[in-house]
Amino acid sequence: MQTRKLGIANLEVSALGLGCMGMSFGYGPAQDKKEMIAIIRSAFEKGITFFDTAEIYGPLINEELVGEALAPFRKQVVIATKFGFKPASQDETHWSALDSRPEHIKKVVEDSLKRLKTDVIDLYYQHRVDPEVPIEDVAGAVKDLIQQGKVKHFGLSEAGVQTIRRAHAVQPVTALQSEYSLWWREPEKEIIPALEELGIGFVPFSPLGKGFLTGKIDENTQFDSKDFRNIVPRFTSENRKANQALVDLIGMVAKEKDATPAQIALAWLLAQKPWIVPIPGTTKINRLEENIGSTVIELTANDLQAIEEAASKITLHGARYPEHLQKRVGR
């Protein structure tokens, strides 16, 4: 697989990463651990060197899974994880409270290192901007961890442009992780130009629109009771029906290219900038292979223009997040 560099920090990773969240969290019950270890190791064997997790996924068990799966070839891969949450309930199963105080960061990094079975985290993201803690203090805490050799690179997730600039002035930001796909193009307005200016890489999560752009979901699809999509406005039955036009467009391009809709959606992202590295997640080996196939699909300038013109005529329905979660992004 080809590699890419995230920003001017030159953090070299495979052109496609693997988002590991769904193996433990977010889309229904946690999957079988042995099967997920096999998927992660298969991804490495097929050329993926960039793996994404977070302490909140599970919580905690996803980092343990990733750490165990990657231990045999730790030095050959890049592990990204995230900090910034803490339990909001006494039983510690419900993590919704933000906490990016420097003393908290310096405590939880030790816990993440243990779970990941490593002595250094390659890319350490603030998971969500904490309005109670100046971003300069957060960047300063991560700078200390970098100087101590516990972290190599600093990242932000779902941050707004001003936060990115302020953080970057204290400790250079290597990558921003935020949602971006043909289904969510908001980053094109301000975020992507700022990242280009500052030399920061971009790691889109949900590059397949939380599965919608694969063409395998329609208005009648029923999700597991624990599936996050049940509370996402874009995933109401009515909005799925209304947004089918975008999936149909991607499907038409896929037929022309002898590819799948998922491969076209990923190839489109890869064609946007050379420093964009999507991290689609999966729990199935055939989907992993399908996603990797996107890296050899070439969309020409004419292809991209045709997609742009057709997509511009489609009105997308439904908010990306419910209101209480939307308040935490773009700060």
Number of other residues whose CB lies within 10 A of the CB of residue 282: 21
Q: Does residue 217 form part of some domain?
A: yes
Q: Please give the C-alpha separations between residue 16 and each of 19, 49, 90, 199, 284, in angstroms, as whole numbers.
A: 10, 8, 38, 19, 16
CATH number at residue 139: 3.20.20.100
Provide φ and ψ at 154, rounded to 5°: -105, 135
Instruction: Tell me, yes or no, whether 102 lies in a domain.
Output: yes
CA–CA separation, 21 vs 59, rounded Å? 10
Q: Please report which residue ranges of 102-148 form alpha helices under DSSP H.
A: 102-115, 135-147
Query: Is 331 domain-assigned?
Result: no
Q: At 187, is the secondary structure helix, strand, or coil?
A: helix
In a domain, 229, yes or no: yes
Provide the terminal-to-terminal Cα distance of the chain, rounded to the nearest Å.
35
- What tokens does 96 get? 């919704």
Residue 44 resides in a domain? yes
Tokens, residue 212 = 């919608």
What's the domain range around 316? 3-326
Please tell me whether residue 318 adopts helix, strand or coil conformation: coil
Hey, is 301 helix, strand or coil?
A: helix
Q: Residue 178 is inside which H or E element, if any? A: strand 173-179
- Identify the active-site residue in 27, 57, 124, 125: 57
> What is the pTM for the complete model shown?
0.97
Domain-located, residue 188: yes
* Cα distance between residue 56 and residue 89, in whole Å: 13
Note whether residue 164 is domain-resident: yes
One digit per residue, the tens of pLDDT, for the chain of length 331 reads 999 999 999 999 999 999 999 999 999 999 999 999 999 999 999 999 999 999 999 999 999 999 999 999 999 999 999 999 998 877 677 788 999 999 999 999 999 999 999 999 999 999 999 999 999 999 999 999 999 999 999 999 999 999 999 999 999 999 999 999 999 999 999 999 999 999 999 999 999 999 999 999 999 999 999 999 999 999 999 999 999 999 999 999 999 999 999 999 999 999 999 999 999 999 999 999 999 999 999 999 999 999 999 999 999 999 999 988 888 898 8
Beta-bridged to residue 97, according to DSSP, are 86
What's the angle, vertex CA 315, arms to CA 195 and CA 320, rounded to 5? Answer: 55
DSSP class of residue 212? Answer: G
What pLDDT was estimated at residue 160? 97
**Cβ atoms of 77 and 46 closer than 8 Å:** no
Catalytic residue status for 57: yes
| Count of structural domains within the chain | 1
36 within some domain: yes
- CA-based nearest residue to 53, from 81, 24, 16, 17: 81
